[in-house]
Structure 1
Amino acid sequence: MITLNPYLNFPGTTEEAFNFYKSVIGGEITMVMRFSDMPDDQTPEQDKHKICHMSLQLPGGTVLMATDTLESLGQKLTLGNNFYLSLGVKSKTDADRIFAALSEGGKIEMPMADMFWGDYFGITADKFGTQWMISYNEAQQQK
């Protein structure tokens, strides 16, 4: 099964935004990972409490995900780069195939690789400028 979920970027207000969305839409916050939780964290002290990843499971099954973009890490939030489409796929083969096809004529931000949180993951923008996160999680596929 392939899933598609929105992934938002905020200028340091992810936690505030998600608490607001939860109060309006409902659902359950299922993950909060701060930059200080990352292995080999290089985040400046003033930003360690910011959100590296947050998930809000919405009623009906869609997962809204987000991160804080940090200028201290060389990131800059501008309208148009504040969202991604996060595509969860059923195999590493599918991840590689879809990532390669979406990357052709586009721009790879992060090549597909095994990540510390357990996913096989990559980020690319396609030739139309749509930003994609491709992920495969073997443990989730076995459920």
Structure 2
Amino acid sequence: MSVVTTLNFGGRTEEAVEHYRAVLDAEVLMLMRFRECPDSSFLKPGFEDKVFHATIRIGSTELMASDVGCDDPESETSFAGFAFAVRAESIENAERHFAGLSERGEVLVPLAETFFATRYGIVKDRFGVSWKITVPGDAE
């Protein structure tokens, strides 16, 4: 058995996928729009170009994303009770990821050296998803 996280971006999945591709080097493994879905019962007016299903890979982790279940193609999303933890390979990568995720987001804990890591910070991105960026203590 395996468990894969699926995020519902309430009509903003394509924007989220492209943002994560740009700032976290996410690889888009699959993206299907509602208009491409073989079962037309899922299609609602105004959703033709929204994302029915997407799978992305960040490092070795796969995430799924969708606009399924959203009643309004322009609605806001909210995510609470979890955060993704990213272990960056270098300070440079951590700073780049943190800066990209912070764009139009909210810095909760500034990226800085701590007693347990070379760098650590928490940011809530523009979609409301929280990310903990860490560079292990032995990284340069």
Question: Scaled by the length of structure 2, what TM-score is found?
Answer: 0.47
- Normalised by the length of structure 1, the TM-score is 0.46
Between Structure 1 and Structure 2, the one with more helix by share is: 1
